[in-house]
Amino acid sequence: MTAATDTKVTYGFWGAAVGAAIAMIVGFAWGGWTTSGTTQKITDEAVLTSRAAICVAQFMSSANHKTTIKAFQDADSYQRAEFIEKGGWATFPGSTPNRMVAEACAKILSGPK
């Protein structure tokens, strides 16, 4: 290899490496790229939010709504998720009661703090 070719290859390699690094920095910082772990976390939060909304809708449309609301409000804050679980509002077809959904549902029903 000649000295000129060797220099071109060296600069070409470093240019590609630095360009790739800059592209990754820009992509992750401003381009909206995410890792699979971050994407999974975002997905799990979205699913929990939608299930909690369904739980709230089921709770609000229960047959004896006023009595249920009163019993929910009378329960201590640490017992409200269990109240939701026992009522079946955090249970979806083919599954068991979901504690995380019940906690999110109870938080929504309790109102802003």
Mind listing the pLDDT tens digit for each residue in 34-60? Answer: 999 999 999 999 999 999 999 999 999
How confident is the model at residue 92, as a pLDDT? 87
List Cβ neighbours of 110 (8 Å cut-off, separation of 6 or more). Answer: 77, 80
Predicted TM-score (pTM) above 0.75: no
How confident is the model at residue 4, as a pLDDT? 84
Query: With 70 as the cut, is the pLDDT of residue 113 above it?
Result: no
